Amino acid sequence: MSEAARLLAAYDDQLRTDAEAAGALAVRVLGPLRLVTFAQGRGFVTYRDLGGADAAAIDELVGQARAHFAADPATIEVEWKTRAHDLAPGLTESLARHGFVAEETESIMIGEAASLAVDVPLPEGVTIRQVSTEADVRAMCAMSARAFGDPPSDGEAIAVDLVSRLSAGDDLELWVAEADGAMVSAGRLEPVPDTEFAGIWGGSTLPAWRRRGIYRALTSARARSALRRGRTLIHSDSTEYSRPILERYGFVRVSTTTPYTWRP
């Protein structure tokens, strides 16, 4: 078995279904699917695989899943996270017919945490720290929204969710880099219970501070924390900004993922 195949098998075995439903308010099983309801009106569809279903059966599953979430007036949006390596005939066409819209495709990157836990020099005046107070979380999310070019309301919604998760004792960590007291880069670490993995998510750097090693240093800090927690593998859904950085540290692109989003 190749390294990429080994890591992809670990991803499928450890990071799908139950792992993706952690912190859910409710989970309904529908054939191979888990229909997950999170706080803030967010729905999510996950599965290990689709059980060899043909296009007609998959189309029925998509319709039933959408109907399930549509019946809940609290639903704001639902994400169906497709993976390129899945056997899923007609899935993307069915999602489009049922009103799901494709978002940006990202690379599923996996590698050893130890390979990221290296010393990275920071520009003068830049420091890294973990944050947890509501004020810091809101400032972090506002900065990230600016970095991604998203409206401030998106950052506010993410901040509300993260503050809620931290208050409930969620095991995630939030890390930021600051220059002269202002946040310029940020990212999350999410250890996955009962697995070898921790995820690195939400990596963002303001345009004026990119290509100075700040994101690499922030990633190294998160990798060191993952190792302290006994997680030896790191996974990330990476944009074209972060994928080359992870590849330089030996990470492997095992597949790609495209989220499809439906909003009532």
pLDDT digits (tens, 9 = 90+) for 158-197: 999 899 889 988 889 999 999 988 999 999 999 999 999 9
Which residue type is seen at 201? W
Query: Token pair of 77, please?
Result: 């949006």
With respect to residue 5, please indicate whether it lies within any of the assigned structural domains: no
**Residues 213-250: tens digit of each pLDDT:** 999 999 999 999 999 999 999 999 988 878 888 898 89
Same structural domain, 97 and 121? no
Query: Token pair of 34, please?
Result: 């888990």
Which residue type is seen at 187? G
Q: So what's the pLDDT on residue 10?
A: 95
DSSP-assigned beta bridge partners for residue 191: 198
- Tally of CB atoms within 10 A around 230: 10
Which residue type is seen at 48? R
Same structural domain, 41 and 141? no
Same structural domain, 147 and 216? yes
Q: Which residues of the chain are modeled with pLDDT < 70?
A: none
Same structural domain, 71 and 178? no
- Beta-carbon contacts of residue 244 (< 8 Å; ≥ 6 apart): none
DSSP-assigned beta bridge partners for residue 128: 177
With respect to residue 4, please indicate whether it lies within any of the assigned structural domains: no
CB neighbour class for 208 (10 Å; exposed up to 12, middle 13-18, buried from 19): exposed
Distance from C-alpha of 31 to C-alpha of 8, rounded to nearest angstrom: 23
> Can you tell me which residue has the tokens 């309801």?
37
Q: What is the pTM of this model?
A: 0.88
Domain hosting 238: range is 111-254
Q: So what's the pLDDT on residue 104?
A: 94
* Residue that terminates a domain, selected from 108, 141, 162: 108
Q: How many CA atoms, within 13 angstroms, populate the side-chain half-sphere of residue 20?
A: 20
Q: So what's the pLDDT on residue 117?
A: 94
With respect to residue 1, please indicate whether it lies within any of the assigned structural domains: no
With respect to residue 185, please indicate whether it lies within any of the assigned structural domains: yes
- Tally of CB atoms within 10 A around 135: 9
> Can you tell me which residue has the tokens 């999510």?
44
Same structural domain, 65 and 126? no
DSSP per residue over 98-129, as a string?
TT-EE---EEEEEEEHHHH----PPPTTEEEE
Q: So what's the pLDDT on residue 22?
A: 83
Same structural domain, 197 and 119? yes
Phi, psi (deg, nearest 5) at residue 73: -65, -15
DSSP-assigned beta bridge partners for residue 186: 176, 204
Q: How many domains does the chain have?
A: 2
Supply the CATH number for residue 205's domain: 3.40.630.30
Same structural domain, 215 and 129? yes
Same structural domain, 142 and 66? no
Q: So what's the pLDDT on residue 107?
A: 96
Q: So what's the pLDDT on residue 59?
A: 98
With respect to residue 6, please indicate whether it lies within any of the assigned structural domains: no
Same structural domain, 91 and 130? no
* Residue that terminates a domain, selected from 60, 83, 108: 108
> Can you tell me which residue has the tokens 């999310």?
141
Q: So what's the pLDDT on residue 1?
A: 74
